[in-house]
A and B are shown apart, each in its own frame.
Chain A
Amino acid sequence: MKKGSRYAKQAALCVLLGFFGFLMAFPFIWMLLSSLKSPEEIIAVPIVWIPEEPRWENYLNIWSVLPLGRLYMNSIITTVLITFGILVTSSMAGFALAKYRFRGRETLFVLMLSTMMIPFFVLFIPLFFLVKEFGWTNSYAGLIVPNIVTAFGIFLMRQFCSGIPDELLQAARIDGASEGRIYLQIILPLQKQALAALGIFAFVYHWDSFLWPLVVITEGSMNTLPLGLNSLRNAYSSQANMNMLMTGSALAVIPSLIVFVALQKYFVKGITMTA
């Protein structure tokens, strides 16, 4: 009897999850279906749900309008370097804030923490001015450099480093290790897990970055993936070309989905750790 009700509960859960899960998945399904349609099918009334004859050539033709290789390269270079910068600065600053005593430490920490509340819109006009003065518009530097320090990363690493016992550092100092060596040989290896979580989080976040690239990039050759997709709207402004927009979207989304599915465990760990 009890076993029966447990099965009933699981069945009910599966039905519910199936329903909501379908709603979550529907945009992806719709994107893939539409990317294989012909222009006539896109604007057909009543709607054509499944393309009669899948148009795989959409996936070839899109390359002439959307320089996917270039877009991917720009996005990868930008995101990897930003993530690397965030890891380096957060790791060192987090360690210093957790393990050294100096005057103003708490104040500094609270100040850094409070910057997490600052909306990007409060910063981006002067940031653009700076980048322009440095001559960094339409460059990787302009995309990367303003992003390589985050209060969030420093906060995370400080919290993590606070859990490392002081005795470990004392012992190393008695053995005559310099502070630099302590950081490189003791702290850094211990931080590995937290850095992995932060890295994943930063990568996902900046891979999707749109507003800042929109501000600093005006040349098509420097477009990142989100900017490239956005510009696709101008190339295919007619309704009947919506299939090509879906094809472009699919080509931007599918690789990241594959990476995500392969690394799902780490993503979830990264998110929960950073929360």
Chain B
Amino acid sequence: MKEGQTKPPEKRRKKRLESHRLAAFLFLSPALVFFAIFFVFPLVATVYLSGREWDLLGPALEAPGVGFRHYVEIWQDDRFVKALINTFLYVLACIAFMPPLALGVAWMLNEVKVVPWFWRLLFFLPVVTSSVAMSLVWQYIFDPTYGPLNEALKALGLRPLGWIMDPDLSLVSLIIVSLWQGIGYHAIIYLAGLQGIPDDYYEAATIDGAGAVRKFFHITLPLLKPTSLFVFVMVAINAFQAFTPFYVITNGGPIDSSNVLGLYIYKTAFDFLNMGKASAMAVVLFVLVVLVSVFQLRWFRRREEF
């Protein structure tokens, strides 16, 4: 440093820039090294494997190449098509129900003045508890013979249902579990958004004679748009990757009625040891996630112009 002070300013600046570049590189290097090994390499390798026939046991590099065969064959696999349809239904249901329910809960949490911390706690509990543990509990709740849900239906004079044992209802059951688990998290995000809206807006609207409904649609909803965008995108990305409740509660059954892509990829890879086919399905899943995310971004942006 002392040496630098005697040099002309031009050189000093250059030296400093040089040292900055080095510092930036050093600070970034751990992240970059891990990114290269644990993100970039696997991503490329999955695409590579999707064109190979590999059973995990033999050397991966010598696995015979099959070109695009896996990408063609998966569409002839009824189980894959079924899983794809189920994934779409599941994602759609999550997008359709999660944000409005979360916003409703957030609104109530924002308005209530009696023990607000208690209500917040209640809705947030499922978010921080073990998914496996709660999946086991839900499995019991949905049990058609011994579970409390059917008992409650009977008490209300309704017909008991098959829930997780019924091919028509297994996916619905899992959607219920996912909503139960996710609402609190997204409600907290909406709550932060609601608290960020200045009170003046509402007061001005009240003076202008706007009712509660108009205030909601003309002030609250538009001002929450950035929050909503985040919630919608996250809900979709997470729904595409749902795994734990599906694995624990139904394991895709009965007869694949609740099989989703994530679960089927896992089974194809680690139960059937068909790494090539699993990789091809993973690539398809990736493309879907990107497409849906881009679509959502566009949709929100277009609505901005109104």
Contacts and interface: CB of A to CB of B under 8 A. Distances in A.
A34 B146 CA distance: 11
Interface in B20-61: 20-21, 23-25, 27-28, 30-32, 34-35, 37-39, 41-43, 45-46, 49, 56, 60
A122 to B, nearest CB: 5
Interface stretch (B65-73, B104-112, B203-211): B104-112
A225 B282 CA distance: 27
Given A125-B46, A257-B128, A272-B192, A149 B248 contact: no
B75 interface: no
A192 interface: no
Interface string A215-246: 10000000001100110110000010010011
B38 A127 contact: yes
A242 B109 CA distance: 35
B119 A21 contact: yes
Given A120-B241, A204-B128, A125 B49 contact: yes
A56 interface: no
B134 A24 contact: no
B27 A183 contact: yes
B31 A249 contact: no
Given A23-B180, A229-B132, 9 more contacts: A30-B148, A96-B24, A108-B28, A118-B286, A123-B39, A145-B38, A229-B133, A252-B133, A268-B188
Q: Determine which residue in B41, B146, B241, B278 has the highest number of CB atoms from chain A within 10 A of its CB, and name it.
A: B146
Given A253-B129, A267-B128, A272-B192, A122 B35 contact: no
B156 interface: no
Interface string A7-26: 00110011011001101111
B127 to A, nearest CB: 8
A10 B46 CA distance: 55
Contacts of A97: 28
What class of interface size applies to chain B in its complex with A? 35 or more
Interface in B122-144: 122-134, 136-138, 140-141, 143
Interface of A: 9-10, 13-14, 16-17, 20-21, 23-28, 30-31, 34, 42-47, 49, 88-90, 92-93, 95-97, 100-102, 108, 112, 115, 117-130, 145-146, 148-149, 154, 173, 176, 179-180, 183, 204, 207-208, 210-211, 214-215, 225-226, 229-230, 232-233, 239, 242, 245-246, 248-250, 252-253, 256-257, 260-261, 264, 267-268, 271-272, 275
Interface in B242-291: 243-244, 247-248, 261-262, 265-266, 269-270, 275, 278-279, 282-283, 285-286, 289-290
B130 A208 contact: yes
A239 to B, nearest CB: 6
5 interchain residue pairs of minimum CB distance = A179-B23, A100-B24, A126-B45, A249-B133, A96-B27
B130 A123 contact: no
A246 B137 contact: yes
Contact of B46 (A17, A122, A215): A122
Contact of B39 (A118, A225, A268): A118
Contacts of A108: 28
A92 B38 CA distance: 18
A258 B241 CA distance: 29
Contacts of B114: 10, 13-14
Given A21-B122, A117-B293, A89 B30 contact: yes
A119 B122 contact: no
A25 B122 contact: yes
A155 to B, nearest CB: 11
Contacts of B128: 204, 256-257, 260, 267
A49 B144 CA distance: 16
Q: Determine which residue in B60, B184, B244, B275 has the highest number of CB atoms from chain A within 10 A of its CB, and name it.
A: B244
Nearest to B22: A179
Contacts of A249: 130, 133-134, 136-137
Given A43-B146, A257-B128, A257-B129, A121 B241 contact: yes
Contacts of A30: 137, 140-141, 148
B278 to A, nearest CB: 6
Nearest to B131: A208
A210 B131 contact: yes
Contact of A20 (B38, B105, B278): B105
